[in-house]
Amino acid sequence: MSLTEFVECINNSNCLSENFGAKQIGNMYNLAMMTQVDEIDKDRHINMTFVEFLEAIVRVAEKTEIPHCIIVSEA
């Protein structure tokens, strides 16, 4: 998955908020990518593997604000 596809995926999920904006998606993508030895001759550093994708999704999930499923009523 490339960076543009990942950004599109996160934008379509509607998980952006005041604390997690579109500018941080690229950082999550880059932090999840493993270091590559040969970035000149190979384009492996542009596309992420499944494991890298999972790590990027977890990094995004850590920053999102998911409301609690149980509504506590104050009596």
pLDDT digits (tens, 9 = 90+) for 8-17: 988 888 887 7
User: What are the residues whose beta carbons fall under 8 Å from the beta carbon of 25, sequence distance 6 or more?
Assistant: 6, 7, 10, 11, 60
Residue at 57 is within a domain: yes
State pLDDT tens for residues 30-57.
889 877 777 677 776 678 889 999 999 9
Is 43 contained in some domain?
Answer: yes
Residue 68 lies in a domain: no
Domain span including residue 48: 3-63
At residue 73, the pLDDT reads 64
pTM of the model: 0.72
Indicate the number of domains in the chain: 1
Residue 48 makes CB contacts below 8 A (sequence gap 6+) with 1, 2, 6, 29, 32, 33, 56
pLDDT of residue 74: 64
